[in-house]
Amino acid sequence: MAECVKCGAYTKYNGGLCTKCYSEKNSDDIDFEESNGLTEKERNYRYGMIKGRIAETLIQELFLSLEYNVFRYGMENTIPGIMELLKGVRSDVAQEIRRMPDFVIQNPKTKDVYFVEVKFRANGEFKAKDLPKNYPYTNAYLILVSKKHIKCLTVQELLDGKEITPESKNYLGNRKEFDLDKDVIIDFCNFAIQFFESV
């Protein structure tokens, strides 16, 4: 029988908290946020950023586990804090920085190099209209992480009218240029389900 690490009561989570202590911890977090004066808009922005970072990390680890060379590319990785600095800024330079793909990856077998942009959508949909206006990286691959699947299209395919939907069959494992192990992708889909099931 597992015991709560805080109060010693029964919990089904070995090394975790019981339901009561978990609830108190979460209400403490909410009070802390509200006491810091975060508006709902700011909380939603940060929540979206966290979901995006989790999706990026899942994809980064997926490619690393398959021995790809993976390099974080976006300006937020080159200059930490730049995205916070640019929040609300509408200049051409700010737009260019925001539109940089998340990763450069290299296939270990072919040595081919690809731009990769990662997005999370709970509804599993991504269309050309969801791209930033005049998105310049038409040779990039957009990988969409949802609550159930990991799918992929090139930006050019999106611009040509293809879409990622819950019913579409454009799974990441079907991309011949990546030649990925589908069992590994299934493992990472299961991780995504665990992380995003309540989103």
User: Is 15 inside a domain boundary?
Assistant: no
Report if pTM > 0.85: no
Pairing of strands 10-11, 69-72: unpaired
Domain that holds residue 102: 52-196
Per residue in 161-196, pLDDT (tens digit) is: 999 999 999 999 999 999 899 899 889 988 888 888
User: Is 34 inside a domain boundary?
Assistant: no
Per residue in 43-55, pLDDT (tens digit) is: 787 787 788 889 9
User: Is 6 inside a domain boundary?
Assistant: no
User: Is 5 inside a domain boundary?
Assistant: no
User: Is 137 inside a domain boundary?
Assistant: yes
Q: How many domains does the chain fold into? A: 1
Read off the pLDDT of each residue in 82-109 and give the average, rounded to a whole number: 75
Distance between CA 105 and CA 69 in Å, rounded?
6
User: Do residues 70 and 103 make contact, with C-beta atoms less than 8 angstroms apart?
Assistant: yes
Q: What's the CATH number where 130 sits?
A: 3.40.1350
User: Is 42 inside a domain boundary?
Assistant: no
User: Is 157 inside a domain boundary?
Assistant: yes
CA 46 to chain centre: 13
